[in-house]
């Protein structure tokens, strides 16, 4: 028999989702059978798969020890670098500035020095993340950036904050604002454009269409031109949808490719300016959360990253 006392990070989720994370070696088919046989108890009583857990609840799973291995805690994050730039922090979230060259998450080949590893190590060192006390939660990034894109990434310190931020991203209540350099002027100095986006998974490249088509999803990208100098244009870009490579592919489709972009950009322009890494930064975050959200206090804030190095071209 295994027993779990539900803490604040475990609460608010379905019991089956909790057990899937807390007992990863327990086959789902067996878990469902245990529910049917009433061998999973919530506070000493039989429960449904859909039961929502609350802090302080006690979950007991009556199963043989050989199939009841509980979640083990991967401590490899402790080998990550201590280099982390905190832009904003409170009890619920961290906003960090990711440098170019650091992966947001492991890609299967990277070492234990991703951005999420650095976040976990930072919180672990502060005593705010104690893996041994968590059955189903670990600090998590609410968004990610490409390895060669710098800028702001939000991390949740607790499960409630993770749910709120993820919901805000889905509903469009979290606005992500970027800055970038293009090698041509966009069609208008300021506009919002709608197009359609399809990712080619095999080639890790996206296609953009001006009209709806099979397999394409709608995207909306807004921009305003901040400065121009020496044939280059500094744009502030607002994402109204968040698709893979959206800014790079959409602006290139509009005739304004990013400087340094080797996938969607102008190779000759990149060589002319001797820039071979896309000049793109996740520059600012703005929140417009519902008034009843526990994170509504963030609505009064505009969180900004340090000025990207590429802006020096326009001084």
- 94-126 in b/e burial notation, b at 16+ Cβ within 10 A? bbbbbebebbbeeeeeeebbbbbbbbbbbbbee
User: Which stretch of DSSP H or E encloses residue 22?
Assistant: helix 15-22
pLDDT, residue 269, reads 97
The contacts of residue 83 (CB under 8 Å, 6+ apart) are: 99, 118
pLDDT, residue 26, reads 87
pLDDT, residue 60, reads 94
pLDDT, residue 135, reads 87
The contacts of residue 108 (CB under 8 Å, 6+ apart) are: none
Q: Which residues of the chain have pLDDT under 50?
A: none
d(CA 263, CA 130): 41
Q: How many CB atoms lie within 10 A of CB 209?
A: 13
Where are the strands (E) in 240-307, listed by range?
A: 280-287, 302-304
Q: Do domains 2-67 and 175-314 have the same CATH topology?
A: no
List the CATH code of the domain at 76-171: 3.30.2350.10
pLDDT digits (tens, 9 = 90+) for 268-307: 999 999 999 999 999 999 999 999 999 999 998 899 999 9
Query: Which residues on adjacent β-strands are paired with residue 255?
Result: none
d(CA 196, CA 58): 48
Q: How far apart, in Å, are the Cα atoms of 257 and each of 144, 177, 280?
A: 22, 18, 11
Four-way CATH pick for 2-67: 3.40.50.720, 3.30.465.10, 3.10.290.10, 3.30.70.20: 3.10.290.10
pLDDT, residue 72, reads 74
CA angle 295, 300, 304 (to 5 degrees): 95
Domain ranges of the chain: 2-67, 76-171, 175-314
CA-based R_g, the chain, Å: 23
Q: Give the class (CATH, top level) of 175-314.
A: alpha beta
Q: With contact defined as beta carbons under 8 Å apart, do 200 and 206 qualify?
A: yes
User: Which stretch of DSSP H or E encloses residue 179?
Assistant: strand 174-182
pLDDT, residue 172, reads 86
């Amino acid at each position: 028999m295994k027993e779990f006392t539900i803490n604040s990070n475990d609460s608010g989720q379905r019991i089956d989702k909790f057990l899937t994370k807390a007992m990863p070696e327990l086959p789902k088919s067996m878990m469902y059978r245990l529910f049917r046989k009433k061998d999973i108890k919530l506070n000493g009583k039989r429960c449904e798969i859909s039961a929502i857990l609350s802090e302080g609840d006690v979950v007991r799973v009556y199963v043989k020890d050989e199939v009841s291995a509980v979640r083990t805690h991967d401590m490899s994050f402790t080998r990550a670098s201590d280099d982390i730039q905190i832009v904003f922090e409170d009890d619920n979230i961290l906003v960090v500035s990711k440098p170019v060259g650091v992966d947001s998450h492991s890609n299967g080949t990277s070492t234990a020095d991703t951005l999420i590893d650095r976040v976990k190590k930072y919180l672990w060192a502060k005593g705010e993340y104690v893996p041994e006390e968590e059955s189903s939660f670990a600090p998590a990034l609410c968004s990610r950036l490409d390895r060669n894109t710098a800028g702001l990434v939000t991390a949740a310190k607790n499960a409630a904050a993770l749910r709120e931020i993820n919901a805000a991203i889905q509903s469009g209540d979290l606005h992500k604002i970027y800055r970038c350099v293009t090698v041509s002027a966009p069609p208008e100095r300021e506009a919002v454009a709608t197009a359609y986006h399809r990712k080619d998974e095999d080639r890790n490249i996206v296609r953009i269409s001006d009209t709806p088509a099979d397999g394409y999803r709608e995207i909306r990208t807004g921009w305003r031109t901040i400065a121009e100098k020496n044939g280059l244009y500094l744009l502030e870009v607002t994402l109204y949808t968040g698709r893979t490579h959206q800014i790079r592919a959409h602006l290139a489709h509009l005739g304004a490719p990013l400087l340094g972009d080797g996938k969607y950009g102008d190779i000759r322009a990149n060589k002319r300016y001797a820039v071979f890494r896309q000049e793109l930064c996740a520059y600012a975050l703005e929140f417009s959360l519902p008034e009843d959200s526990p994170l509504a206090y963030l609505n009064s804030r505009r969180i900004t990253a340090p000025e990207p190095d590429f802006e020096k071209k326009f001084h």
